[in-house]
Amino acid sequence: MPQATSYSLGDRPSVRGARESLDNTLRRTAVESTPMFAMLSRGPKAKAMLSEWMVDDLSEVNFPGVADGTPLAFDGDFVDKTTERCRFGNRIQQVQRTFSVSPQAEAVDVAGPSGLYATSKARALIELKRDIEALICSDSEMSASAVSGGVRSGDKLGALGAWTDPSNTTANGVYGSSLQQGYRAVSGSRFDLTSAGSMTEANLRGLLQAIFEQHGSASSYKLVGGPSVLNQVADMTRTSVASDNPSFQLTQNVGDGVLKLQVQEYISDWGRVYLIPTLLNGRTSGGALNTASRNRAYIIPSDNHVSVRFLEDIRTIDLEDIDGAGKRGMVRTMLTLTPTSAGKPLGSIV
């Protein structure tokens, strides 16, 4: 005889009356962690579209014998000690995300957190934070606002990729003058993992040594790196049976049944390095995770050599429904990056 089944009820739920089963939850699957932005200190509030600061250097050591009583030429033997001073700057960049919800969409009952407008605002704030992280850790070069094809572009800040490049000579960029180029990240402070294919402990030690020889302090550093970089450092603790000359071992007491192989700190002759994983290094605007971002890492001194300055803090702006299409809003910030010692204490892996 005829029998009602789940299939007959479900073919046309709006007619047959079968209810839907939709959980009242909403889970995000995207990356939300922004370690660099969380780690960097907040500098003084910016007051102009170009935030500037001064750096200075010392002349090389000099200790010739000086005969007692030797007269000095008033014009020729006295030295100007201000010639090494250099003025650096970085432009303020505006970053924003917008959102809107129609009146009916806001009124109906939907699964997930209540209120589409509130949840849209919360999502925009998370996206803005990710945008800031990716911007800071990108290769973006400083540039002023310009008009091209009748469209004006906004100011752009110089990101860590530009500040840590030992060969950066971009005109009007962060190292636009020959004097500024004397304060670049030093030769040897950048390791090309993409070209080399792998990074040995000697490579990392050499990178840290190059920074020490210019910075002169075996301080602690934070290495904020992609998965490939952290895997390379972790591999330095393991003996490779395929190697002709294995020299590194990991001795581990596993009496509790737990084998711990995570490397969180690397202590070298040139300083202690704290390893922090990230997935937002080296991203381009609109670009997804790729080999370049997996291989990217920045080595930043733990003290305040690099900071973020805001012209406008992160804020939300709610706009009224003025045309009947619904409420709109935006989240926005205006900020810049200030490596106060320029590139000399910085390192990178690309």
Please count the CA atoms within 13 angstroms of the CA of 46 that sit on its side-chain side: 26
What's the length of the chain?
350
- Helices (H), ranges, the chain: 6-10, 13-16, 35-39, 103-107, 116-136, 160-163, 178-181, 193-196, 201-215, 227-235, 291-294
Per-residue CA distances from 127 to 130, 143, 330, 331 (Å): 5, 24, 11, 10
CB atoms within 10 A of CB 307: 15
For residue 299, the 8-state DSSP code is E
Quote the pTM value. 0.88
Task: Supply the pLDDT for residue 307.
Answer: 96
Task: Supply the pLDDT for residue 250.
Answer: 58
pLDDT, tens digit (0-9, with 9 covering 90-100), for 296-307: 999 999 888 899
pLDDT, tens digit (0-9, with 9 covering 90-100), for 234-248: 888 775 555 566 555
Domains of the chain (ranges plus CATH)? 41-56+81-239+261-349 (3.90.1690)
CB atoms within 10 A of CB 50: 13
Task: Supply the pLDDT for residue 240.
Answer: 56
Task: Supply the pLDDT for residue 28.
Answer: 72
Task: Supply the pLDDT for residue 25.
Answer: 72
The Cα diameter of the chain in Å comes to 125
- Residue 319 CA to residue 327 CA, distance in Å, equals 6
Task: Supply the pLDDT for residue 110.
Answer: 83
- Residue 270 CA to residue 145 CA, distance in Å, equals 41
Q: What is the pLDDT along the chain (350 residues), one digit of tens a residue?
A: 577 766 666 655 555 677 777 777 777 777 788 999 999 999 999 999 999 999 998 888 989 888 898 898 988 889 899 988 999 999 999 999 999 999 988 888 887 777 889 999 999 999 999 999 999 999 999 999 988 888 888 999 999 999 999 999 999 999 999 999 999 999 999 999 999 999 999 999 999 999 999 877 777 999 999 999 999 998 887 755 555 665 555 566 767 777 666 778 888 889 899 999 999 999 998 888 999 999 999 999 988 889 999 999 999 999 988 888 899 999 999 999 999 999 999 999 99
Please count the CA atoms within 13 angstroms of the CA of 316 that sit on its side-chain side: 16
Task: Supply the pLDDT for residue 88.
Answer: 97
